[in-house]
Structure 1
Amino acid sequence: MRHMGLLKNASTGTIIATRVDRAASFLQRAVGLLARPNVRPDEGLWIERCNAIHTMAMRSPIDVIFVDDTGRVKRVVHHVKPHKLAVTCFSAKAVIELGAGTLEAEDVLVGDLLELV
C-alpha cells in the first residue's frame, strides 16, 4: 500500500485528512481498513475501482465518500457503523474510507473535487 499523504478538497482548498493511503491492488482493496483496530478521524484509505463497501468485520465506525474517476464527490455517508452489509453508489469509481467524525469538521459536498497530495 502506498502512503499518499493529504486528502484535499480542491473545491474549497481545505485538508480533510492528513494520513490517507491508496489501495490499488486486489488484496489491498479487499482488506481495506479491516485490519485496523480503529481508524482515527485524520486517517483513511482511498480504494480504487470500487463503488460499494461493507463494514462486516470493522471494529469502529467510518465516514465514507464515493467519488467518480476524476475525484468528484458522488455521495457522502457519515458514521457508517460496523457490521453493515453494504453501502453503495453505482456511479462511483472509488471510495474513500475515513475515521468516523472526519466529515463532521469538514463540509464535503456532492460535486466537490477531492485529491491526494
Structure 2
Amino acid sequence: MRWKVNNLTRGKLLADRAERASSFMDRFMGLMGRRSLAFGEGMHIVPCNSIHTFFMRIPIDVAFLDPDGLIVKQIPAMPPWRLSSVYFKAHSVLELPAGTLAGSQTQEGDKLLFEPVDPAAGQTAPE
C-alpha cells in the first residue's frame, strides 16, 4: 500500500507515493540499494527511532516522528554511510528525497498526516 503524506502545519504535500516498512525485514532494508528516490516517493519506517544510511547511494531527508505525527527531529540531506542518533521521543521515521523538507519549509514541531492511497483508483482511500 502507498501513502500520501501531508504537512498539516504548512499545508504542503510531502509525498504521494510513500511506502510503509513495518516488518523487521522491510525496516532493515529500507531504501538500501536504490539508485534514486523521486519527489513524491518516500519510506515510513514504523516503529523506528534511529536509522542508518549504510549501503545507500543517495542522500535523504529524514523526519523523526512522535506517535501523534509531530516531527521531533529532522536531518536534511543525510549522506550515505551515516548513523543517526537515537531519538527516544520518536516512534517512526519518514525518509524523503533530499530537498523535500527545505522545499516545503517543513520544521521540527510540524504535524504530518498519513492517508492510504487506493492503488486502483490512484486516489486517497477512506480509512
TM-score by length of 2: 0.84
Please give the secondary structure, in 2, of the residue aligned with 1:53.
coil
How many residue pairs were aligned?
115
Report what 2:71 is aligned to: 73
SS in 1 for 2:27: helix
Stretch moving more, 56-65 or 33-42: 33-42
Q: Aligned ranges for residues 10-25 of structure 1 at < 5 Å?
A: 10-25=8-23
* Per-residue deviation, 1:87: 4.1
Deviates more, 1:12-21 or 1:74-83: 12-21
Other-structure match for 1:95: 93
Q: Is the 8 A contact 1:61 1:82 kept in 2?
A: yes
Alignment partner, residue 3 of structure 1: 2
RMSD: 1.3
Tell me the amino acid that sits aligned with residue 11 of structure 1.
T
Partner Cα separation in structure 2 for residue 52 and residue 40 of structure 1: 23
CA distance in 2, matches of 1:80, 1:104: 13
| Alpha-carbon distance in 2 for matches of 1:112, 1:72 | 6
Q: Percent identity?
A: 37
Q: If you compute each CA radius of gyration, which structure gives the higher value, 1 or 2?
A: 2
CA distance in 2, matches of 1:103, 1:38: 17
Residue 31 of structure 2 is aligned to residue 33 of structure 1? yes
Q: Deviations over 1:4-55 (max 9, x none)?
A: 2x21012232111222111111111111111321112321101011000000
Gaps of 5+ in 1: none
Q: Which sections of structure 2, spanning at least 5 residues, go unmatched?
A: 116-127
Q: Which contiguous aligned blocks of 4+ residues in structure 1 show a shift greater than 3 angstroms?
A: none
